Amino acid sequence: MGADSVVMAIGRRMSEPGLEIFQQDWAWVPGVKHLMYSTSLINALDQAARKGAVIHGHGLWLMPNIRPARIAARHGVPFLVSPRGMLGPEALAFSSRRKKVMWALAQHNALELADCFHATSVAEYEDIRRMSLRAPVAVIPNGIHIPVGEPNPAYTILYLGRLHPKKGIDRLIEAWARLAIDFPDWRLRIVGPSEIGCREALEAQVVRLAVPRVCFEDALRGDDKWSAYREAGLFVLPTLNENFGMVVAEALATGTPVISSKGAPWSGLVEERCGWWVDHGVEALEAALRRALAISPEERLVMGRRGREWMKREFGWESIAERMAATYAWCLGEGERPECVVQ
């Protein structure tokens, strides 16, 4: 689930308590499509601000992430920003020259105008503070849909998500290459859309290392995606950097235990006894995989049930929407500071 899906899900839940949520279609201005500049969007935001709306921006580096700050300031309405992981060190390092120019020209000033930030984890809160941004931060995780159906795990290690160098999939392949001979019933399933030629590089790595039982598949959506989670005996996210890691929450919601690197903020896997949270590097990942594959299927099912209960308890969309609505009300001066807001 990408940021756009998360925003839509929050919007649907927040409309229920009586907040007005509207959707605006727009067309990009020809010649600057790469910056996603849209006069119709700017005009719609200007009209909303005149009515006293909260403006909440998601993401960075494009004109829809910059102009709303000026509109909010002009009309004196609250401006919130969800960086969506784009202030993390690994994210900043990608296309760093372009981002440094955009930061100096416009993005930094836009963020300085924010009345409040929204972080999906403590790690993202720290990313925001590392950039010397001092506005309050609401730490509210992404919500998760709890799908219907029970796990039906096969001997499959699943990675599902974008195929990108920052995801650390090459480390997963190398770790699997070291232990595949010891677990002949298991296979590695890698699912997702390829970016910047990543799939080709990973397939070449599999051939070079002669890794057995590895399959690649294109992105899955809807029921097919949830079936992939349910049919996995183990989900692995070996990412270098992640502000939240929605795929971890989705795997847990289906009852699948998880191994995540410490590049994603999922220390709760250990606390809730539903997975492993491991250091970066092939050695740590290999060790966690050996532990996970060596335990009985019954033990993995128990771990998966703990994870599913955790998701129901703390990551349901209704709870997330309530915390976001309380943050909006506080920014408007209509309520006490919510516990989720750190000043």
DSSP 155: S
Instruction: Say if strands 156-160 and 55-58 run parallel, antiparallel, or are unpaired.
Output: unpaired
**Which residue segments constitute the domains of the chain, with CATH numbers given?**
3-143+316-342 (3.40.50.2000), 156-314 (3.40.50.2000)
Across the chain, what does the average pLDDT equal?
Answer: 90
Q: Strands (DSSP E) along the chain, which ranges?
A: 55-58, 79-82, 116-119, 137-139, 156-160, 187-191, 214-217, 234-237, 258-261, 275-278, 341-342
Asked whether the predicted pLDDT for residue 33 surpasses 70, the reply is no
Whole-number pLDDT of residue 203: 98
265: its two tokens: 């903020």
Whole-number pLDDT of residue 64: 84
Whole-number pLDDT of residue 100: 95
Query: What are 228-266's pLDDT values in tens digits?
Result: 999 999 999 999 988 789 999 999 999 999 999 999 999
Whole-number pLDDT of residue 90: 83
Query: What are 144-188's pLDDT values in tens digits?
Result: 888 888 889 999 999 999 999 999 999 999 999 999 999 999 999
Whole-number pLDDT of residue 145: 84
Asked whether the predicted pLDDT for residue 19 surpasses 70, the reply is no
Whole-number pLDDT of residue 213: 98
Whole-number pLDDT of residue 268: 96
Are 153 and 233 in contact, with CB atoms under 8 Å apart?
yes
Q: How confident is the model at residue 36 (pLDDT cuts 50, 70, 90)?
A: low
Whole-number pLDDT of residue 1: 43
Bridge partners of residue 238, in order along the sequence: none
Cα 232 from chain centre? 20
53, 155, 181 from 296: Cα distances, Å: 54, 11, 18
Asked whether the predicted pLDDT for residue 61 surpasses 70, the reply is yes
143: its two tokens: 């919500």
Asked whether the predicted pLDDT for residue 11 surpasses 80, the reply is no
Q: How far apart are CA 170 and CA 241, in angstroms?
A: 14
Asked whether the predicted pLDDT for residue 16 surpasses 90, the reply is no
Asked whether the predicted pLDDT for residue 24 surpasses 50, the reply is yes
Helix/strand/coil for 113: coil
Query: What are 87-145's pLDDT values in tens digits?
Result: 998 889 988 999 999 999 999 999 999 999 999 999 899 999 999 999 999 999 988 88
325: its two tokens: 């609505």
Percent of the chain past pLDDT 90, that is, above it, reads 71
Higher-pLDDT residue of 85, 169: 169
Please give the average per-residue pLDDT across 194-218, as a whole number. Answer: 97
Whole-number pLDDT of residue 243: 78
Please give the average per-residue pLDDT across 8-30, as a whole number. Answer: 58
Are 173 and 209 in contact, with CB atoms under 8 Å apart?
yes
